[in-house]
Amino acid sequence: MNAFYEAVRCGPRAHLADGIRNIEKLFATLGDDCRSGKVDQAYCFRSSVRICAQMLYHWHFGFHAVSRPLQIMNKGVDLALEYFETVRDSLAKAMRDVEPQAAWYFPYAEALLMTTLTRRTHERTQLSDCLQPNLTRDIGGCVFDIEPEHADVLLCIAASFQSSPMETAPLGQRAQQSRKRRPKLLFKAWQALESGDRAKFVSALADSTANFAKTTAADNTPLMAVALEESNLAALAYERGWTDITFDLPVAARLVTHRSLELS
C-alpha cells in the first residue's frame, strides 16, 4: 500500500493483499482456457484483459504482484488483440443507439492504457481500427454504466490512432453538449492535448478526475477507484512529452501513470 491507497482506501488491506496473490496464481496461464474451444471465447478474452487491468490497479495502489507492470501490460495487450479479433465482425455491424453484439468500451479503454504505457503503438492502431463511429453504446460486463457521451470521447481519441481515421466531428459535438460535466471535461482535456495547451489540459483533467471521484467512483475495490479515461489522457500527455506533469492528492490517487507504476 502507498499514499494513493491512503487517499482512497479502496478496500481492506488484507483483502487486497490476498486478492493480488490469488490473481497472480492465474497470470501464467491467463488466456489458455480462451483458446481451448471449451468456453465462450469472447467472454474469456474480455475477462482476461480485465484481470490484467486489476493487477495493474493493485500495483498502482501499492499491492504488488510477483509479475511486474510491463509484463502484466504486455500480456494484457496480447489478450486484447485476441479479443478484438474475435469480435471484430460483430463490432463492424453495430448500429447507432443499438447495443452491439460484443462489448468494446472497457476492453478498448484498458488496452489503450496498456498499449500507451508500453509504447506498443502498432498494436494500438490495430485495436483502434476495430472501432467505428456507431459504437455509442456497450453491453454487459461493465463496471460502470457507459454514457453515450463517454463513448463519443473515447472514439474521438481512438480515431487519432486509426490507419484511416473515422469521422468524429458529430461525436465531439455531442460530447461538448452533454448534460453531464465529466464528458465535457474529458473532451476539453483531449482537445487541449491535441492543440498543445498544457495549462488547459492539466486544469480539465484535474477537474474531470475530481468529478469522477464525486459522481462515479466506488471505493471498495481498485477496479472501481481508478479513473481509467483520465489515466489514458495522462498517459497520452506523457507520450507527447509532458513528462513532468504531476497532480496533487487526491486526484493523483485516481490516475494510473508511468510514475505510479514505477516505469519512469
pLDDT of amino acid 145: 60
Mean pLDDT value of segment 239-257: 97
Q: What is the pTM of this model?
A: 0.95
- Calculate the alpha carbon distances from 114 to 51, 57, 110, 121, 188 in Å: 13, 12, 6, 10, 23
Taking only the tens place, the pLDDT of each residue in 97-151 is 777 878 999 999 999 999 999 999 999 999 999 999 998 777 554 555 677 899 9
Mean pLDDT value of segment 13-31: 92
pLDDT of amino acid 246: 95
Q: Burial of 68 by CB count in 10 Å (0-12 exposed, 13-18 middle, 19+ buried)?
A: middle
pLDDT of amino acid 142: 52
- Determine the Cα–Cα distance for residues 46 and 103; give it in Å rounded to an integer: 8
pLDDT of amino acid 144: 57
Taking only the tens place, the pLDDT of each residue in 83-95 is 999 999 999 988 8
Taking only the tens place, the pLDDT of each residue in 45-99 is 999 999 999 999 999 999 998 999 999 999 999 999 999 999 999 999 888 777 7
Is 70 exceeded by the pLDDT of residue 32?
Answer: yes
State residue 131 phi and psi, 5-degree precision.
Answer: -100, 155
Report the phi/psi class of residue 138: left, alpha or beta, with left for phi > 0 and alpha for psi in -120 to 50.
beta
pLDDT of amino acid 57: 97
Query: Which position has the grid cell 481492506?
Result: 12
What are 222's three cell numbers? 481498485
pLDDT of amino acid 140: 52
- Where do the domains of the chain lie? 3-254
DSSP 102-124: S--HHHHHHHHHHHHHTT-HHHH
- Determine the Cα–Cα distance for residues 183 and 62; give it in Å rounded to an integer: 29
Taking only the tens place, the pLDDT of each residue in 148-181 is 899 999 999 999 999 999 999 999 999 999 999 9
Mean pLDDT value of segment 178-195: 96
